[in-house]
Structure 1
């Protein structure tokens, strides 16, 4: 088993900071840096594995917009298989992360097209997969998987695959 399949969220991360305190409403605050990069637990994991030379597939969705197309193209350039990465009508998710001077972070995220990432979508993509390591990432932000019959999906994939689960942060923060 040398194939790794990552199932989960991708988004565009916008990271700003550091700051000591939140600005007052209706004001603007300057920061030292604002970075834009690939984000989401599944995306970050796939990128690291690809950098290590591990064959990796990603099962996910993004919007059929500039950001979704750019993410998918960048994954191809990095050697990540995007056969199960669907661009669908809608907006690619974004997360804004604000960093504190003590290195803590706060996140503001939108779900957008990730709501289509449900049990039916994933089971349709992985119906015939055998002999893989399958990692589910970011379940905390994938309401379609949390609300669906995730347990039945995981059990259906258990034969001839190794299943891993990274639940992420609790859904309430």
Structure 2
């Protein structure tokens, strides 16, 4: 049975973490910069998975002696490539985008809470009230609409003219 180390495993283990951590940190920053801003954008479900996976690879690399820098960098490159590929496929093919990207959802429109949409998205009225306060709105009479965006943020649009409001009609059809 292997020896179990609880408090100290020697300077060699500490030095390995420092060297490998710095080198892979630099490699990860370079890879993310090369892969483009989309990799670092607001998180969609796929972006979240890539972010968690990168963190898992980095954490494993720092703590496991049997993972080499070349293996970790290969994993980083693979994850950045998958992010690029999925983003490209979403832009190129509408059917792919429908499968992997959520659409914005209208939650409030001209004085009416879209209860069915709110229930489906698991959003409470009190949450919308709080979001409105954060954006500086004193009451809902000042608000035209609230949209839950595909990155789970709320867009709150103040009162519009009737001609402007027509551009938001597309959200009404989904609810």
TM-score for both structures, normalised by structure 2: 0.23
Question: Which of the pair is proportionally richer in helix?
Answer: 2
* Structure with the greater alpha carbon radius of gyration: 2
Higher relative contact order (CA 8 A, sep 6+): 1
